[in-house]
Amino acid sequence: GAVTTKRSRTRVRPSSSIVTVSGPAPCVGVKLVIRGATLNVAVVVAVVIVDSPPADDPARSWSDTLGLLTRRDGGRLATVAFAQAKSMTETVGALSALLDMGQGAAEVAAFATRWGDDRNVMDKWYALQIAHAEPAEAAALTARLTEREDFDWKNPNRFRSVIGALAGNHAGFHHRSGAGYRVVADWLLRLDPLNPQTAARVSTAFETWHRYDAGRKRHAQSELGRMVATPALSPDLREMVERMLAAG
């Protein structure tokens, strides 16, 4: 592939096609090589220029590069990258690229089959799906994932990887339907008697509720009101919710 850096222009050559990306200098070059005979391509090489800072973070550069190529080829290279991954960083990067394209169902299943007994890795599995979900589908996906046998909501890390991931998916949590608010509030109320500290921390996702349009504000205020009206609400969560309601 050919690279010129005068105007931070990059040519990416998978096979014979060319993708051009421009951005401000200074930049750093990153090379990604994927071998995939299943694509009838012996070697695919992409040389990409990414914006500064030059990142001593090769994992992020690799993931960004693969994401660019995935948008170009509809997920073929990411599928190969997932199958050939030699590390968790490569596995997660490839799966993220596929999920961003609305693909990856087979890879999601393969990931769970391989790593299902590793609690920490499965936390990533849960969080990745929710973080990359389409806004309109994020709440429903979260609700489905909470029905899995290995969703131990009493485990703080698992709770954060699922409910916290929805709260952190800005577009999904604040979707105009209000479903994101409702799912998070339901689980905060369930967790609060056992772990009020984690419930209070996750509840901070509601902090900006009053900055949104009237419809979203109405949904969020309704869920905050439902929480604060719960008689047995812990002091930790009650303090947070009352403060957020007062801000509106």
Predicted local distance difference test score (pLDDT) of residue 75: 85
Rounded Cα distance between 167 and 176, Å, is 14
Predicted local distance difference test score (pLDDT) of residue 114: 96
Predicted local distance difference test score (pLDDT) of residue 246: 96
Reported as a single tens digit per residue, the pLDDT across 92-128 is 999 999 999 999 999 999 999 999 999 999 999 999 9
Question: Containing H/E element for 33?
Answer: strand 27-36
Handedness of CA 115, 82, 39, 74 (dihedral sign): positive
Predicted local distance difference test score (pLDDT) of residue 50: 42
Say whether domain 116-248 belongs to CATH 3.10.270.10: no
Length of the chain: 248
Predicted local distance difference test score (pLDDT) of residue 65: 74
Nearest in space to 32 (alpha carbons), one of 6, 7, 1, 73 = 1
Predicted local distance difference test score (pLDDT) of residue 67: 72
Predicted local distance difference test score (pLDDT) of residue 178: 98
Predicted local distance difference test score (pLDDT) of residue 68: 75
User: Kind of pairing, strands 27-36 and 19-21?
Assistant: unpaired
Predicted local distance difference test score (pLDDT) of residue 59: 57
> Quick check: 46 and 12 in contact, CB under 8 A?
yes
Predicted local distance difference test score (pLDDT) of residue 62: 62
Predicted local distance difference test score (pLDDT) of residue 60: 59
Rounded Cα distance between 153 and 156, Å, is 7
The neighbour count for residue 213, using CB atoms within 10 Å, is: 9
Quote the distance between the C-alpha of residue 71 and its chain's center. 17
Residues of the chain with pLDDT under 70: 1-64
Predicted local distance difference test score (pLDDT) of residue 27: 33
> Which regions of the chain carry the CATH code 1.25.50.10?
116-248
* Greatest extent of the chain over all pairs of C-alpha atoms, in Å: 66
